[in-house]
Amino acid sequence: MLNQNENTSERKKDHIDLCLNESVVFNNKTNGFEKYDFDHFALTEIDYNKIDLTTKFFGKKIKYPFLISCMTGGTGEAKNINSNLAIVANELGIPIGVGSQRQALEDSTFHESYKIIKQNANKVPVLGNIGAAQVACLISNDTIKYLVDLIEAEAMVIHLNPVQELFQKNGETNFTGLLKKIKKLTREINIPFIAKEVGAGINRKAARLLIENGIRGIDIAGAGGTSWSAVEMKRNNSEIETEFWNWGLPTSYCIKETAKLKKKNFFTLIASGGITNGFELAKSIILGADIAASARPILKSIVNNGVDATISEIDKMFENVKKVMYLTGASNIKELKKTRLIKKEELY
Ligand SMILES: Cc1cc2nc3c(=O)[nH]c(=O)nc-3n(C[C@H](O)[C@H](O)[C@H](O)COP(=O)(O)O)c2cc1C
């Protein structure tokens, strides 16, 4: 168990509040999808009503290539949010991640806020979550086994968040020995490990090193959506440093770069970072992702509009993915991956 840190729960609450009520998105960098257009295929022979959006996620069939990203847990309001997010995931047949389980190592006050996810989403893969800073100073793998068991996780996510830690009050900026610890974890715990960023992107070199050390899924979580330096700057009421607010590699770039590793390696590539609609989602898959994910837009929807509206928003997003597939000649996700995007500068 970690030492009691009275601020973890408070911080998680502030993150939810800031993400719901403040503007914390990148303000001079986009996720890059607007630079591409679809390759319209006039000779489509697809039966629109037979388009198949299902895919597999670590061997399990899921209804859409979409994941509700790791967000919260470990604070009072998280239980209700996670409870509702899990209902959405279960209803839609898509995987869901819990927020950092660090707080669950401090005491058991908020264990229910994490456990509720599996209780409400027992038909779909549930992902655990812990930060790289905690992994770097891990004394025993038993700590991670404990977190996996606590929520009956099918896979464990390690979030890499150096930009966030840098701007967080008392952030943990010592990641010495991280990769060695990751290697040990992936060797000794027999579930898939996924590495993710939180909005600054994973480049090809980092992805390669992670895969070489046993990581089986990479969520590139690129720039263009929620900026976690922005969240922390706002939380600290500190001076706004625009260059760091907008630090990171755009989502579309990270997907393309990391997808190059697919030629020689088998891993699941997850696209996230500012994905808000069916067009961006379809483009992420054509650029090389296996599935896409989203965080803050889903949080806003669940809190502001509730379960039914969130389900119908995600359904609507996939109606648009379906239309894109129809117009590009793809009857399933595998075929969508084989279509191509055109850089807008080639069009004019
Ligand atoms: C309120 C909130 C809390 C988050 N907490 C975590 C976390 O505990 N662990 C994690 O890996 N990512 C966390 N994230 C980051 C997201 O999973 C995601 O990588 C990031 O927000 C970028 O995606 P987006 O642009 O769709 O929001 C959080 C996001 C939000 C909105």
Query: What pLDDT is attached to residue 1?
Result: 37
Is it the case that residue 108 has pLDDT exceeding 50?
yes
pLDDT interval class at 290 (50, 70, 90):
very high
HSE-up (13 A, CA, CB side) for residue 4: 4
Nearest residue (CA) to ligand 1, atom 4: 71
* Range 195-211 burial, b when 16+ CB lie within 10 A, else e: bbbbbbbbbeebbbebb
Residue nearest to atom 30 of ligand 1 (CA): 71
CA distance 271 to 66: 9
Tokens for 341? 């995007």
Which residue, judged by its Cα, is nearest atom 6 of ligand 1?
Answer: 71
Q: Whose CA is nearest to atom 5 of ligand 1?
A: 71
151-205 confidence digits (pLDDT tens): 999 999 999 999 999 999 999 999 999 999 999 999 999 999 999 999 999 999 9
Look at the pTM and tell me if it is higher than 0.85.
yes
**Distances, alpha carbon 290 to alpha carbons 248, 270, 300, 334, in Å:** 22, 6, 25, 9
Q: Which residues pair with 291 in a beta bridge?
A: 270
Q: What are the start-end ranges of the E strands in the chain?
A: 36-38, 55-57, 60-62, 66-68, 96-97, 126-131, 155-159, 193-196, 217-219, 268-271, 291-294, 341-343
Residue 326 alpha carbon to ligand 1 centre in Å:
32
Amino acid at 120: N
At 53-87, the pLDDT tens digits run 999 999 999 999 999 999 999 999 999 999 999 99
* Contact assessment for residue 104 and residue 117, using Cβ atoms and an 8 Å cutoff: no
Query: Which residue has the least CA distance to atom 20 on ligand 1?
Result: 198
Q: Which of 71, 235, 302 to mutate to test the pocket of ligand 1 (most atoms within 8 A of CB)?
A: 71
**Burial (Cβ within 10 Å: 0-12, 13-18, ≥19) of residue 139:** exposed
What pLDDT is attached to residue 2?
A: 40
CB contact at 8 A, 309 and 83? no
Q: Which CATH class is domain 39-66+128-289+320-346?
A: alpha beta
Beta bridge partners of 289: none
pLDDT tens sequence across 265-282: 999 999 999 999 999 999
Q: Which of 10, 66, 70 to mutate to test the pocket of ligand 1 (most atoms within 8 A of CB)?
A: 70
How many whole angstroms separate alpha carbon 90 and alpha carbon 75?
Answer: 22
336 phi/psi in degrees, rounded to 5: -60, -40
Task: Give the integer Cα–Cα distance in Å for 207 and 21.
Answer: 33
Cα 17 to Cα 71: distance, rounded to the nearest angstrom: 12
Rounded to an integer, the average pLDDT of 210-237 is: 97
Distance 198 CA to ligand 1 centre (A): 6
For residue 24, report the distance from its CA to the centre of ligand 1, in Å. Answer: 12
For 276-281, which contacts have Cβ atoms below 8 Å and span 24 or more sequence positions? Answer: 276/225, 277/317, 277/320, 278/316, 278/317, 278/318, 278/319, 278/320, 278/321, 278/323, 278/324, 279/33, 279/320, 279/324, 280/31, 280/33, 281/65, 281/66, 281/317, 281/318, 281/321
**Tokens 């008392």 belong to which residue?**
170
Can you give the residue ranges of every domain in the chain? 39-66+128-289+320-346
Yes or no: say if 104 and 150 are a contact pair by the CB < 8 Å rule: yes
- Residue 15 CA: which ligand 1 atom is closest? 1
Tokens of 72: 């919260």
Closest approach atom of ligand 1 to CA 225: 25
| The amino acid at 218 | I
Mean pLDDT of the chain: 96
Q: Is the pLDDT of residue 6 over 50?
A: no
Ligand 1: residues with CB < 6 A are 15-16, 19, 69-72, 99-100, 129, 157, 159, 196, 198-199, 221, 225-226, 272-274, 294-297, 299
How many angstroms separate the CA atoms of 298 and 85, rounded? Answer: 8
Quick: pLDDT tens for 127-154: 999 999 999 999 999 999 999 999 999 9
Compute, in angstroms, the gap from residue 44 CA to the centroid of ligand 1: 38
Compute, in angstroms, the gap from residue 45 CA to the centroid of ligand 1: 39
pLDDT band at 7 (very low <50, low <70, confident <90, very high): confident
Beta-bridge partners for 55: 62
pLDDT on residue 3: 40
